[in-house]
Structure 1
Amino acid sequence: MRSDSTGTGLWVGSTDPRVVRATAGGGFDWACVDEQHGGAAGGRDNTGLIAAVRAAGVTPFVRVAWNRPELIGRALDSGADGVIVPMVDDVEQARAAAAATRFAPRGTRSFGPVRSVDAVALTEPARANADVRCLVMIETVRGLDAVADIAAVDGVDGLFVGPFDLSLALGVDVTALLTDDGPDAPLRRVVDACRANGLVAGAYAASPDRTAHLRAAGFTMIAAVDDLTMIANAAAGAAAEAKRAGR
């Protein structure tokens, strides 16, 4: 994931590797297993889900439940190429997240050579440090106020906006947040901080309309849809079409 590339992502809420492989293989560039919300993947051994994403030929990420080194290390040990870390408010929290993704001397990640048979082989530490991606989420007022400093933290590879939490924190509707194109607009501040530091600008959309707004704002790594909603919508469409055909 480069700062100058565009990637369309799938947000994974399913806990069935067969479903994850089928949906991730639909043409997405990356997919993120969500361990924070929904109670689906959180607290599980998600090696099989990450392996299913990789088997579909897609880059696997994990949104960890919180900014804790054991959660970040577990996600990476399970085969993820990178992590998305929620609710990062300041430089110290960003440094902690970045350190947890990398082995010494760059970071504090613990070396665990034993992995599930479903995961890819563990690379040597220097290569793993170079290849891993750490994105921190900007979704609070404190995080937004510190966004320029957070973006400058060594080891942070991208910023990822959670528009629903950020809109709640700012006291505005999510649509107002997405359509604000003023010179000091929150999304503009995030994108500008990414561009100034050569970082990936990512965001969660989960709908075509929101994806279009985020693309227009300059975001390049966008979670365009979540798998369970996509399946539900496809099922509803197929059922409706079948009923029309039978009339």
Structure 2
Amino acid sequence: MTEAEPTGNGDDYGDDYGGDRVRAGVWATLGDARTTLALERAGFAWVGVDAQHGHFDDAAVRGLFALRRAPAAPVLVRVAANDPTLIGRALDAGADGVVVPLVQDAEQAEAAVAAAHYPPRGARSWGPLPGTRDPAAGAAAAPRPLCAVMVETAPAVAAVRAIAAVPDLDMVFVGPFDLALALGRDVDELLADTSADAPLPTIVRACREAGVLAGAYAGAPERAAALRAQGFSWIAVTTDAGVLQLGGEAARAALDRAP
């Protein structure tokens, strides 16, 4: 694969999965289905649903996709662990893809990819939950899921070239807060470090060599700009709570400007 040919999934969203265009996403943590669906229609390029550190438990994830009628952007679920049951269940509920946390090496990345795909590529079992897009169509007709794995520790950075090279992996996703914590560094200093052997340039370079997407969680527009400058393309610019705060600030400012 070449640098310009990421392995993105374009089955349902045109070129939204592949290519080098920066895609601003929003990270849903509050656990509310209707708020998350409103964010999907608000113009973001993708939505991340946090079932690891957010309020989305299994019932909330199922409820979200049961209400989803007209997909407008890819919705990815960050599962709580690299567990085939959790990965398969999120996809069975209707997620367009999964973000798998704390992947340390290529073997663990391969396990995540295998859990996301039906045979012969993987080991996922067929069993769609009510609310999926076409539960009667069968596994062969199911959309190809996007599989992202998170690099957020020193061993994962050391192994990132091998991780990114795992067949059918779509994205390496960085959690800069956990990565900074693991490396004993300040997160903003980590984001600003552009030296050739620094962690973030190393991750982006590995993604480009393997032809996979480089994604990251920013949580705030200022950190999103730093991640974009580092070369990441799928960036969670803010959270659902952050959107409410930013929107409230904009509304108050508009009122203050009114004659």
TM-score, normalised relative to structure 2: 0.86
2:93 and 2:132 in contact (8 A); partners too: yes
Deviation, structure 1 residue 121: 1.2
Deviation, structure 1 residue 70: 0.4
1:91 to 2:102 alignment: no
Instruction: Give the distance between the partners of 1:164 and 1:97, measured in 2 at CA.
Output: 22
Q: CA 1:54 to 1:228, structure 2 compared with 1: closer, same or farther past 3 Å?
A: farther
Aligned to 1:55: 70
1:53 and 1:60 in contact (8 A); partners too: no
Instruction: Give the distance between the partners of 2:189 and 2:138, measured in 1 at CA.
Output: 46
Amino acid paired to 2:37? R
Question: Map of 1:151-166 to 2, 5 A cutoff?
Answer: 151-166=164-179
Q: Over residues 146-170 of structure 1, what are the superposed CA-to-partner deviations in whole Å (9 max), with x where a residue is unaligned? A: 0001111112111000000000111
1:144 and 1:186 in contact (8 A); partners too: yes
Deviation, structure 1 residue 16: 2.4
Task: Count residues in correspondence.
Answer: 242
Aligned to 1:36: 52
What is the aligned-residue identity percentage? Answer: 46
Runs of 4+ in 1 over 6 A off after TM superposition: none
Q: CA 1:171 to 1:54, structure 2 compared with 1: closer, same or farther past 3 Å?
A: farther
Aligned to 1:100: 115
Q: CA 1:42 to 1:181, structure 2 compared with 1: closer, same or farther past 3 Å?
A: same
Structure 1 gaps, min length 5: none
Question: Map of 1:118-129 to 2, 5 A cutoff?
Answer: 118-122=131-135, 123-128=137-142
Structure 2 gaps, min length 5: 1-16
Deviation, structure 1 residue 51: 5.2
Instruction: Give the distance between the partners of 1:158 and 1:184, measured in 2 at CA.
Output: 21
Instruction: Report which stretch shifted further, 104-113 or 80-89.
Output: 104-113
Aligned to 1:22: 38
Aligned to 2:8: none
Q: Over residues 87-130 of structure 1, what are the superposed CA-to-partner deviations in whole Å (9 max), with x where a residue is unaligned? A: 000111111101000111111101114x21x33114543443x7
TM-score, normalised relative to structure 1: 0.90
Q: Over residues 207-239 of structure 1, what are the superposed CA-to-partner deviations in whole Å (9 max), with x where a residue is unaligned? A: 111111111111110111101122134235545
CA RMSD of aligned residues (A): 2.2
Question: Map of 1:114-153 to 2, 5 A cutoff?
Answer: 115-116=129-130, 118-122=131-135, 123-128=137-142, 131-153=144-166
